[in-house]
Amino acid sequence: MKQRTLKLQRIYKEGSAYLESRQIPDAQIDAWYLLEYVTGISRASYYGNPEKNISEEEAKRYWEYLEKRARRIPLQHITGSQEFMGYEFLVNEHVLIPRQDTENLVEEALKVIRPDMYVLDMCTGSGCILISLLKYAAERKHITGGKAVGADISADALEVAKKNAQRLKAPVIWVQSDIFENVSESFDLIVSNPPYIRTEVIQGLEDEVKLHDPWIALDGYEDGLYFYRRIVSESISHLNDGAWLMFEIGHDQAEDVSKLMKNAGFCNIYVKKDLAGLDRVVCGMYNKRVAENSSRTKM
């Protein structure tokens, strides 16, 4: 039986080559993160002493994790966490892995948040959007006593969100709800990253997404707009006058989601692009008078 190498540089190169042979995207990066996760080594320590040996137990765990990654299990499901807005969030198969693109939604919400705002995160998943929003707002001293609610239809997802809130000391009320079914309050700000991928598109996504992200967090039904329609129409009775509704969207959904909001009587609607220059966030303000006029016009 071939003896397993224990030297840092050698085992890292072998791990990288193994993932590359299995056509894993960003193989070298993933091989490094797994080595860092197993050994706790920093890049400075690695380059300072690349010939250092790791323990046989660490080598065994490293190769077990490499094999999992080779089977297209997401890196975040192996390590159990993902960074978002500078905070570390627990993740598992019950929640959508936080994406950097979603940070745009948090940044837009931070522009309008003010003291004592009542905030709702609809389809909260891991809670990363709401918790990050609260943490940054508190750091910038914008919030002094507001109230925050995170809602999701999945009880399993809410368990993950609760753990994240406890770890990061974020005061959130968690509600299991099919959109607004179990939500009774009115809010000054609603943020949401709902399922928005068209059903027929999901099977064409990479295995890491279609096999390991929860389908319920991906599927926006036939045209990808099902949850936007529901949230826009049902939010009207849960928004205070002058409140904001903010969505993450797919890159080709800005026009459709903006139209849904305009037709429902929202005003000051605008679209925010992500770092890649793609449409990523749609925001609109609820104005009671405009909404009532819009409703009368349709009659």
Q: By the 8 A CB rule, do 193 and 102 touch?
A: yes
Query: Cβ atoms within 10 A of the Cβ of 230, count?
Result: 15
Q: Tokens 């995207």 identify what position?
A: 25
Question: Is 195 assigned a ligand-binding role in the annotation?
Answer: yes
CB proximity list for 15: less than 8 A, separation 6 or greater = 31, 34, 35, 62, 63, 66
Q: What is the pLDDT of residue 287?
A: 87
Q: What is the pLDDT of residue 297?
A: 61
User: Annotation-wise, does 193 bind a ligand?
Assistant: yes
What pLDDT was estimated at residue 1?
36
Contacts of residue 32, defined as CB under 8 A and 6 or more positions apart, other chains included, come to 12, 16
Q: Residue 135 corresponds to which tokens in the numbers above? A: 């943490």
Q: Domain 85-298 is of which CATH architecture? A: 3-Layer(aba) Sandwich (3.40)
The answer to the question of whether 196 is labelled as a binding residue is yes
How much is the pLDDT for 198? 96
| pLDDT value, residue 296 | 60
Angstrom distance (rounded) from CA 44 to CA 62: 20
Q: What is the pLDDT along the chain (299 residues), one digit of tens a residue?
A: 345 668 899 999 999 999 999 999 999 999 999 999 999 999 998 899 888 999 999 999 999 999 999 999 999 999 999 999 999 999 999 999 999 999 999 999 999 998 889 999 999 999 999 999 999 998 876 665 578 999 999 999 999 999 999 999 999 999 999 999 999 999 999 999 999 999 999 999 999 999 999 999 999 999 999 999 999 999 999 999 999 999 999 999 999 999 999 999 999 999 999 999 999 999 999 987 776 766 666 65
Q: What is the pTM of this model?
A: 0.92
| CA–CA separation, 128 and 261 (whole Å) | 25
Cα 202 to Cα 74, 206, 208, 250: the distances in Å are 16, 9, 11, 13
Q: Enumerate the H helices of the chain as residue ranges.
A: 8-21, 27-39, 43-48, 56-70, 75-79, 103-112, 128-139, 155-168, 199-202, 207-210, 226-235, 254-263, 288-298
Q: Which residues contact 69 (CB under 8 A, 6 or more apart)?
A: 19, 24, 30, 34, 75, 78
The token pair at 167 is 């770890």
